[in-house]
Amino acid sequence: MLDHNTSAYFAVLELKYWLNYYGKDWEKVWASYNAGFNYKNGLKYSRDISNKIKQIDACIIKKQEVA
């Protein structure tokens, strides 16, 4: 899609669907966003996302401590 607003809208709808389906199991939500009901195929990517979020959080915390 070339329309970023439309792309974002549908991405949020998709994430909300999986969030409703799995509850707050974000690993399965992210995996299913990328692999559908065969979420096990998306688990590695989901874990990669989780690790990147943790790295970003750690950098933000360190930056706040320095400031």
Residue 18: Cβ within 10 Å count: 21
- Global pTM? 0.68
Over residues 15-37, the pLDDT tens digits come to: 999 999 999 898 899 899 989 99
HSE of 17 in the Cβ direction (CA atoms, 13 Å)? 12
Residue 1 pLDDT: 54
d(CA 30, CA 34): 7
pLDDT over 70 at 67, yes or no: no
Residue 36 pLDDT: 92
- E strands, 1-67, are none
Residue 62 pLDDT: 76
